[in-house]
Amino acid sequence: MKSVYGNLKCFLEFSVGAILFFVAFLFMSVSEVYSCTSVIVSAKASADGRPILWKHRDTGAEYNHIIYSDSCGYPFIGLENSNKDGDIWIGTNTMGFSIMNTASFNLKDDDVEVMDHEGKLIRRALEVCKSMDDFEHFLDTLTRPMRVEANFGVIDAYGGAAYFETNNSVYYKKDVNDISVAPDGYLIYTNFSFEGRKDEGYGYVRYESAKKLFSQIKSDGITPEEIFLNVSSSFYHSLFDADLMDDSHSPNVLTQGWTVEQDYISRKESTASIVIQGIKPGEDPSNTIMWTELGYPPLSIALPLWVKLGDNLPQMVRYDETFKTAPLCFYSNELMKNVYPIRKGNGQKYIHWEKLISPDGNGYIQKIRPVWKSVYDKFSDYVTKYSDEVCLSEDNRKEELDNLYDEVQKMVYKFYEDLLEKQKN
């Protein structure tokens, strides 16, 4: 157990660090830094009775990676920018407490200037919170102003699932288990708050797109796989009621293989998609899974992570000095650069769609989907096998998981390296 001094040291570092990192935020575009799409799915709306927390991250920070931390309070794994500023943007701890955020742009009601402490708040919450109730108490006792304007999403090992629309002084809890709040058993958030100023904020088109997409998959129960493939990597646009994946709306047919990228869930600034799959009440919190895609989500691979892996997280998601980020993030972003090849003017808003989906079947998405599915199925089989308590010993489970990571990483490395090499020729 950490000493009282150790916990006090953590708190002081949290407070002082918040001030030190503020200067960096001044030079970042708000519209690029904080624009995400998310969902919390209650146990009753998921396919297997386990709650789900999803964040599709859009940010001006091009690279991010996964860290394990046990330096203060509860050990956790979380998503950190590859400049290693210490902020965490989604994560889960040993107690099964999981948290993420989307920025809100219609909830701030004061003139406080020093803001953008969401990543610091998330990190500290992972260190000290065991449950959703703990998080409420955490918010109640934080010094005001809290220096945040965000929708924080939380699930825990006791069935708790809620969003907290939070500004500098107050928060509004939206309980996903409350049928009057979430009649379908899930809530979607982008970059506005329902308690905020009407029609202000961002992400209204993405919100409507996500509503349509989730409505199409909810009947059989929502799974992480469906979120990744049918929502996070979707190119459906609710305003046009058009999906670029459909031949009738394909840019390959209509606009010579190019299209404008505006208000899609996946976009150039998308740098991670993470689905945290919680547990049923009474199960071991250490079985909480953080399914992780790093880099540009349509061209990434989902790997499952557990806090109990500790410092033995797979190499593909950890910071690598050679790449200055996680290899998975680097590779998927390198492919993404070919999808957005125009560097001058407003070129970054134009997708070379033919690179993603091509008439000859050699588009990046067409090539990566079979690999994605193979990896996901291998790990899903592993998870299903060990959901039964009478299965093999923990040592055998660990050995099998280590071997599976090794097998998958070799396959994924080769896939990306071969694909990138072909692009040079």
Q: What pLDDT, in 10s, does the model give residues 150-194? A: 999 999 999 999 999 999 999 999 999 999 999 999 999 999 999
Compute, in degrees rounded to 10, the torsion defined by CA atoms 195, 200, 205, 210: -20
Predicted local confidence at residue 391, as pLDDT: 56
The tokens for 359 are 């008439």
| Cα(394)–Cα(225) distance, integer angstroms | 26
| Cα(229)–Cα(295) distance, integer angstroms | 15
Residue that has been written with the tokens 């769609």 in this structure? 353
pLDDT at 81 over 60: yes
Mean confidence (pLDDT) of the chain:
92
Q: What is the 3-state secondary structure (H, E, C) of the chain?
A: CCCHHHHHHHHHHHHHHHHHCHHHHHCCCHHHHCCCEEEEECHHHECCCCCEEEEEEECCCCCEEEEEECCCCCCEEEEEECCCCCCCCEEEECCCCEEEEEECCCCCCCCCCCCCCHHHHHHHHHHHCCCHHHHHHHHHHCCCCCCCCEEEEEECCCCCEEEEEECCCCEEEEECCCCCCCCCCEEEECECCCCCCCCCCECHHHHHHHHHHHHHHHHHCECHHHHHHHHHCCCEECCCCEECCCHHHCHHHHCCCEEECCCCCCCCCEEEEEEEECCCCCCCHHHCEEEEEECCHHHCCCEEECHHHHHHCCHHHCCECCCCECHHHHHHHHHHHHHCCCCCCCHHHEEEHHHHCCCCCCCHHHHHHHHHHHHHHHHHHHHHHCCCCCCCCHHHHHHHHHHHHHHHHHHHHHHHHHHHHHHHC
Predicted local confidence at residue 424, as pLDDT: 83
| Cα(117)–Cα(144) distance, integer angstroms | 12
Predicted local confidence at residue 3, as pLDDT: 40
Residue type, 15: S
Predicted local confidence at residue 35, as pLDDT: 82
Residue that has been written with the tokens 């959703």 in this structure? 132
Predicted local confidence at residue 423, as pLDDT: 85
| Maximum Cα–Cα distance across the chain | 65
Predicted local confidence at residue 395, as pLDDT: 81
Mean pLDDT (whole number) for 45-66: 97
Mean pLDDT (whole number) for 268-294: 96
pLDDT at 237 over 70: yes
pLDDT at 11 over 80: no
pLDDT at 21 over 50: no
Relative orientation angle of helices 118-128 and 4-20, to the nearest 10 degrees: 170
pLDDT bucket at 392, cuts 50 / 70 / 90? low
pLDDT at 25 over 70: no
CA 342 from chain centre, in angstroms, equals 27
The tokens for 60 are 């001006």
Q: Is the pTM of this model over 0.85?
A: yes
pLDDT bucket at 19, cuts 50 / 70 / 90? very low
Mean pLDDT (whole number) for 24-49: 73
pLDDT at 18 over 60: no
194-224 pLDDT, tens digit per residue, is 999 999 999 999 999 999 999 999 888 999 9
Strand-pairing partners, residue 55, are 38, 274
Q: Which of 156, 159, 219 is nearest to 184 (CA)?
A: 219
110-120 pLDDT, tens digit per residue, is 999 999 999 99
270-277, strands of its sheet edge to edge: 186-189, 37-41, 52-58, 270-277, 289-294, 303-305
The tokens for 211 are 């509503």
pLDDT bucket at 299, cuts 50 / 70 / 90? very high
Residues whose CB falls within 8 Å of the CB of residue 193, separated by 6 or more in sequence, listed in order: 104, 106, 107, 151, 165, 172, 201
Sorted by where each starts, the structural domains of the chain and their CATH numbers stand as 4-424 (3.60.60.10)
Predicted local confidence at residue 34, as pLDDT: 58
Mean pLDDT (whole number) for 340-365: 96
pLDDT bucket at 390, cuts 50 / 70 / 90? low
123-133 pLDDT, tens digit per residue, is 999 999 999 99
The b-or-e profile of 172-186 (16+ CB within 10 A means b, else e) is ebbbbbeeeebebbb
pLDDT at 296 over 70: yes
pLDDT at 149 over 50: yes
Share of the chain above pLDDT 90, in %: 86
Residues in the chain: 425
Mean pLDDT (whole number) for 67-78: 98
The tokens for 192 are 């506005």
The tokens for 335 are 């492919």
pLDDT at 279 over 90: yes
pLDDT at 43 over 80: yes
The tokens for 96 are 């099964």
pLDDT at 8 over 80: no
Side-chain-side CA neighbours of residue 234 (13 Å) = 29
308-334 pLDDT, tens digit per residue, is 999 999 999 999 999 999 999 999 999
